[in-house]
């Protein structure tokens, strides 16, 4: 791709970052717009934008065009991500929030299971542009299906038809971009950001202004009163905490498999099929339990699985068998199926129905920011602990010193376990009983 577009790794990085920033910064905004003017409209428009932008990405003649079209693709992605789970819950009868959420979780990870293999095949035997062109018929199918569905009568809630808080939306977009730049070193480097102190101060000032503005306006982009709902607020923080932990795992395990155990890329690909398989298998169980006894038990079991996987990470050694990290990834996948299905149902289902789009946006932002922070934190902790175990100040973490590298990685997994304990506490104290009764708490 870099050669075809006559660019370098920085240009390609911008193509990746532009999409990511669009999704993170706009998910809550489009979730709220969907609440006001109709989630189905946002969903259908999202497919339209993703389809057109994917076609344009495929025809890009230089990296600037690709970055622009990827940014547009991220706008469409934010529209889809911000209302998908809310629409799924709207389509199901009351008391089936867990089932709806588990279907979305399983569907997402099914795509994650088959997508990389198809993408790799297209790149190997066709062209990298084919990856973008392949999204066009999928997008067209989404447009047709969502249009047909929109034409049918539905029991979904009538849109609020309130006014959009444009200033609040603009401030929120800027805030989310700023926090992404603060926690993502790759993104910060891409924009040439060196010293982050001034950015942190600007973020704090803008955050204060945003919260003050949202408390004043009649129709805010972010209803702060929703965070008084215990199940919503505790579930949201639990999602952020566990996403940070999973970001750490995502950062560490590939290095360990390839650089320490010397597993080939193709074999690594097989090992990384374990998480989505276990996620798909566990999601329906979590959905069933959530609808019967509430989200607390299945979500907490999911956190427990993550804790066990973290302890496996603590026990990894230079000469560990490949089955041990595979078990770690499998348990992490099962934890994802259990926790995500139950916890996301709790976040979206516990708020009044007219705010489900906003809650769905919170899910997306919490997940993405958490993983970004986890990866950033993983890099920092690995560097600091590697200096300690190697006894070499300023030495970057390297597999050339396997004992020091693995010891540093073990410390990081203790950090994952600590985050898991926090997530467990939040999960157990979010409230008992089924989801519906918490919407008015």
At 411, the pLDDT band (50, 70, 90 cuts) reads very high
Q: Is residue 132 part of a domain?
A: no
Please check whether residues 170 and 301 belong to one and the same domain: no
Please check whether residues 303 and 357 belong to one and the same domain: yes
Burial class (CB within 10 angstroms; exposed 0-12, middle 13-18, buried 19+) of 319: exposed
Query: How far apart, in whole angstroms, are the C-alpha atoms of residue 179 and residue 193?
Result: 13
Last residue of a domain, one of 154, 185, 220: 220
Please check whether residues 332 and 392 belong to one and the same domain: yes
Please check whether residues 306 and 195 belong to one and the same domain: no
Residue 159: CB partners within 8 Å, gap ≥ 6? 35, 36, 37, 38, 39
Query: How far apart, in whole angstroms, are the C-alpha atoms of residue 262 and residue 246?
Result: 23
Lowest-pLDDT range of 8-22, 292-306, 308-322, 324-338: 8-22
What is the overall mean pLDDT for the chain?
Answer: 87
Lowest-pLDDT range of 94-98, 190-194, 283-287: 190-194
Q: Is residue 73 part of a domain?
A: no
Q: What's the pLDDT score for residue 162?
A: 62
Last residue of a domain, one of 173, 197, 220: 220
Nearest to 82 by CA among 163, 38, 23: 23
Q: Is residue 208 part of a domain?
A: yes
Q: Is residue 61 part of a domain?
A: no
Residue 251: CB partners within 8 Å, gap ≥ 6? 374, 375, 378, 379, 382
- Number of compact structural domains in the chain: 2
**Could you read off the pLDDT of 142-152 as tens digits, one per residue?**
999 888 876 56
Please check whether residues 194 and 308 belong to one and the same domain: no
pTM metric for this prediction: 0.86
Residue 107: CB partners within 8 Å, gap ≥ 6? none
Please check whether residues 407 and 327 belong to one and the same domain: yes
Q: Is residue 269 part of a domain?
A: yes
Query: How far apart, in whole angstroms, are the C-alpha atoms of residue 56 and residue 405?
Result: 43
Please check whether residues 196 and 240 belong to one and the same domain: no
3-state secondary structure the chain: CCCCCCCCHHHHHHHHHHHHHHHHHHHHHHHHHHHHHCHHHHHHHHHHHHHHHHHHHHCCCCHHHHHHHHHHHHHHHHHHHHHHHHHHHHHCCCCCHHHHHHHHHHHHHHHHHHHHHHHHHHHHHCCCHHHHHHHHHHHHHHHHHHHHHHCCCCCCCCCCCCCCCHHHHHHHHHHHHHHHHHHCHHHHHHCCCCCCHHHHHHHHHHHHHHHHHHHHCCCCCCCHHHHHCHHHHHHHHHHHHHHHHHHHHHHHHHHHHHHHCCCCHHHHHHHCCHHHHHHHHHHHHHHHHHHHHCCHHHHHHHHHHHHHHHHHHHHCCCCCCCHHHHHHHHHHHHHHHHHHHHHHHHHHHCCCHHHHHHHHHHHHHHHHHHHHHHHHHHHHHHHHHHHHHHCCCCCCCCCCCHHHHHHHHHHHHHHHHHHHHHHHHHHHCCCCCCCHHHCCC
Q: Is residue 147 part of a domain?
A: no
CATH number at residue 282: 1.20.1250.20
Please check whether residues 351 and 419 belong to one and the same domain: yes
Would you say the C-alpha torsion 150, 155, 161, 164 has a positive or negative sign? negative
Lowest-pLDDT range of 198-202, 243-247, 313-317: 198-202
**Is pLDDT above 50 for 314?**
yes
Copy the structure tokens of residue 308: 């066990």
Q: What's the pLDDT score for residue 440?
A: 47
| Average pLDDT of the segment spanning 193-216 | 84
Q: Is residue 150 part of a domain?
A: no
Last residue of a domain, one of 191, 220, 249: 220
**Is pLDDT above 80 for 107?**
yes
143-149: Cβ within 8 A, 24+ apart: 143/44, 143/47, 143/48, 143/51, 146/40, 146/43, 146/44, 146/47, 147/44, 149/40
| Average pLDDT of the segment spanning 337-352 | 93
Please check whether residues 230 and 215 belong to one and the same domain: no
Please check whether residues 245 and 387 belong to one and the same domain: yes
Please check whether residues 232 and 355 belong to one and the same domain: yes
Q: What's the pLDDT score for residue 42?
A: 93
Domain hosting residue 337, numbered range: 225-438
Q: Is residue 41 part of a domain?
A: no
At 183, the pLDDT band (50, 70, 90 cuts) reads confident
Please check whether residues 368 and 340 belong to one and the same domain: yes
């Amino acid at each position: 791709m870099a050669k075809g577009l006559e660019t370098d790794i920085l240009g390609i990085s911008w193509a990746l970052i532009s999409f990511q920033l669009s999704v993170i910064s706009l998910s809550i905004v489009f979730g709220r717009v969907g609440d006001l003017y109709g989630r189905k409209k946002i969903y259908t428009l999202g497919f339209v934008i993703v389809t057109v932008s994917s076609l344009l990405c495929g025809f890009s003649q230089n990296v600037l065009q690709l970055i622009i079209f990827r940014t547009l693709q991220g706008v469409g992605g934010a529209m889809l991500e911000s209302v998908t789970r809310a629409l799924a819950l709207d389509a199901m009868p009351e008391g089936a929030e867990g089932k709806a959420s588990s279907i979305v979780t399983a569907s997402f990870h099914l795509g994650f299971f088959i997508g990389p293999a198809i993408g790799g095949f297209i790149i190997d035997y066709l062209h990298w542009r084919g990856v973008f062109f392949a999204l066009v018929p999928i997008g067209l199918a989404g447009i047709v299906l969502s249009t047909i569905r929109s034409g049918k009568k539905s029991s979904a809630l009538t849109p609020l038809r309130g006014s959009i808080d444009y200033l609040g939306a603009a401030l929120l977009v800027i805030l989310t971009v700023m926090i992404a730049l603060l926690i993502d070193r790759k993104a910060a480097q891409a924009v040439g950001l060196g010293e982050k102190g001034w950015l942190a101060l600007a973020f704090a000032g803008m955050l204060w202004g945003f919260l003050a503005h949202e408390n004043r306006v009649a129709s805010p982009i972010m209803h702060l009163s929703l965070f008084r709902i215990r199940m919503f607020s505790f579930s949201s923080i639990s999602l952020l905490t566990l996403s940070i932990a999973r970001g750490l795992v995502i950062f560490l395990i590939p290095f360990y498999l390839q650089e320490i155990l010397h597993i080939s890329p193709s074999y690594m690909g097989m090992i990384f099929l374990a998480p989505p398989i276990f996620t798909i298998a566990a999601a329906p169980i979590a959905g069933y339990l959530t609808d019967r006894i509430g989200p607390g038990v299945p979500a907490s079991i999911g956190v427990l699985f993550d804790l066990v996987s973290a302890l496996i990470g603590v026990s990894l050694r230079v000469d560990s068998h490949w089955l041990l990290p595979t078990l770690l990834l499998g348990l992490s996948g099962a934890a994802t199926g259990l926790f995500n299905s139950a916890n996301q149902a709790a976040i979206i289902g516990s708020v009044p129905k007219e705010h489900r789009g906003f809650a769905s946006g919170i899910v997306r932002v919490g997940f993405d920011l958490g993983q970004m922070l986890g990866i950033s934190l993983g890099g920092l902790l690995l560097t600091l602990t590697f200096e300690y175990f190697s006894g070499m100040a300023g030495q970057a973490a390297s597999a050339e010193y396997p004992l020091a590298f693995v010891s540093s990685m073990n410390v990081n997994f203790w950090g994952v376990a600590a985050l898991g304990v926090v997530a467990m506490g939040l999960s157990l104290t979010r409230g008992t009983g089924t989801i519906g009764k918490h919407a008015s708490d």
